[in-house]
Structure 1
């Protein structure tokens, strides 16, 4: 472990890393250039086998706020808990190695938590970016505790239609005492460890989201929500069931014919990104994805719609078809 300094910072930023050489440099830079500076940056290198290790050591030698922990590969949740074991800040800010924090992220969250003692964790809105860093959409997460908690208990297997995110894990800042009180992350619920943690935290305090954009959230094929989607859905349902049990409530019954989530063909995903980008005003990205779809399938009406929106600078047009 390197760069462990004597000053006790207000914030501990926690980021696990495993083989993210193409993204990790921008992730680290986005934390080191924050307008708020009273933090330590705990990076747990979970046995990376690519050049991410060299990149992390390069940063650690240049900035004493970085606390670099090296360990053999043990998994995402265990890496998070290892970082929590050494975190000294009053607040813990989560960060992922493929995302980019916006410059005032930490300042906004610290200010909020200092003014709202009842809140144990606060997230915020995220701008969605692709592998190249092009923006194609944004989140619309609920702001207040009651709506957040209600959505955390929803699941497609229980008949709910999930239309938006609730809490983006890499936007979260938590009170250290709260996450220790509930027992940190639980490995048995990975890769839905965040849902499980939010539900437990919501039982000892309030959750919130800021209306401001705090992060650029990178969406790519290697991310957990894509690569382990089925397992994540299953463990999210287990976390919900456990929350109902703790609260002494009856969990809604699961329909015999549970809905399944199948992977969409790539052209449909690209088409969805084109429309999302156009509706969000990211016209250059919309143009890119619409043209890519139309090159392969020129009959796709939604792709044509996104292309028209991107070329005319309009975020909506009359619907042409399904």
Structure 2
């Protein structure tokens, strides 16, 4: 028998009922190694279709579910913080409410955490909303040293794929507000604090790419989040002065280039771990 683990999944009014149902079943009933607990955090009121889908998922779930309802929408950082506090287990797997976990995901990821890692992610397949076509593949760095080096330029983990130890998250202060980049800020602090990290290159999560996926990576809100993150990384000594200047210039410019250019740049330098991170 392996160590028990919990699945942490936030859901809010913007999530699609059918997408949520698929995300839930793919991460619980269809897994070859099922979680021992599900912590479902409802971030504010939801519409009737999504509420019905949540009720049906809980009713048909073969493992215990904690359905934590937050009265008003408070955002992902607080939702995840409250959800982590409700986990009965130290190993916690993250999942978003519109993606799909492949059946062997936890059977392959959780043993790595049991074996000593504090944080482990996987590769992802990107698929379209409308017809399910695979349109891209994200291949993460897998070596701990490469992950640490790459993290000075970009988040080395895809948040919906990670499994971590809650105790390791708690040691660095947990999720903290950082605009739209609370996950990168958490993972950087974990790496800076000496957490043992790794990635599986194999894609074990399917990531839904809807209309506007690349548009959302740009704009003033993303730029403000970017500046705040880069200042924070520099303040804790995670990046050097030269890295800070590079990041503000390169990652900042990325927020304002036309969407088609942003898409190409993302596929070249981010999805496949471009060599720019090593400079």
TM-score, shorter chain, exceeding 0.5? yes
Q: How far did residue 222 of structure 1 move?
A: 6.0
Distance 2:153 2:37 in 1: 35
Distance 1:245 1:201 in 2: 15
Unaligned runs of 5+ in 1: 1-8, 156-164, 277-322
| Paired position in structure 1 for 2:175 | 185
TM-score by length of 1: 0.70
| Paired position in structure 2 for 1:4 | none
Q: How far did residue 237 of structure 1 move?
A: 4.1
Q: How far did residue 240 of structure 1 move?
A: 3.6
Give the 3 Å change call, closer, same or farther, for CA 177–247 of structure 1 in structure 2.
Answer: same
Distance 1:142 1:39 in 2: 29
Match of residue 55, structure 1, among 53, 76, 91: 53
- 1:200-239 correspondence runs (5 A): 200-203=189-192, 204-221=194-211, 226-227=215-216, 229-230=218-219, 231-239=221-229
Secondary structure of 1:92's counterpart equals strand
Q: How far did residue 248 of structure 1 move?
A: 7.5
Match of residue 42, structure 2, among 37, 41, 45: 45
Give the 3 Å change call, closer, same or farther, for CA 232–185 of structure 1 in structure 2.
Answer: farther
Give the 3 Å change call, closer, same or farther, for CA 58–196 of structure 1 in structure 2.
Answer: same
Unaligned runs of 5+ in 2: 269-279
Q: Is residue 6–residue 91 contact of structure 2 (8 Å, CA) maintained in 1?
A: yes
Distance 1:80 1:15 in 2: 8
Higher relative contact order (CA 8 A, sep 6+): 2
| Paired position in structure 1 for 2:241 | 251
| Paired position in structure 1 for 2:148 | 149
Distance 1:121 1:237 in 2: 26
Secondary structure of 2:119's counterpart equals strand
Give the 3 Å change call, closer, same or farther, for CA 249–173 of structure 1 in structure 2.
Answer: closer
Q: Is residue 13–residue 41 contact of structure 1 (8 Å, CA) maintained in 2?
A: yes
Distance 1:125 1:248 in 2: 25
Give the 3 Å change call, closer, same or farther, for CA 38–95 of structure 1 in structure 2.
Answer: closer
Distance 1:24 1:140 in 2: 25
Number of matched residues?
A: 250
| Paired position in structure 1 for 2:94 | 94
Give the 3 Å change call, closer, same or farther, for CA 60–92 of structure 1 in structure 2.
Answer: same
Q: How far did residue 244 of structure 1 move?
A: 3.1
| Paired position in structure 1 for 2:112 | 112
- Find the structure with the greater CA-based Rg: 1
Give the 3 Å change call, closer, same or farther, for CA 261–236 of structure 1 in structure 2.
Answer: closer
Distance 2:228 2:153 in 1: 12
Q: Is residue 196–residue 236 contact of structure 1 (8 Å, CA) maintained in 2?
A: no
Distance 2:164 2:238 in 1: 26
Distance 1:261 1:229 in 2: 4
Secondary structure of 1:209's counterpart equals strand
Q: Is residue 125–residue 136 contact of structure 2 (8 Å, CA) maintained in 1?
A: yes
Give the 3 Å change call, closer, same or farther, for CA 220–137 of structure 1 in structure 2.
Answer: same
Distance 2:8 2:120 in 1: 15
TM-score by length of 2: 0.80
Q: Is residue 119–residue 197 contact of structure 2 (8 Å, CA) maintained in 1?
A: yes
Q: How far did residue 48 of structure 1 move?
A: 4.1
Distance 2:212 2:134 in 1: 18
Q: What CA deviation, in whole Å up to 9, does each residue of 1:20-40 have, x standing for no partner?
A: 124111101101221112421
- Runs of 4+ deviating beyond 4 Å: 255-258
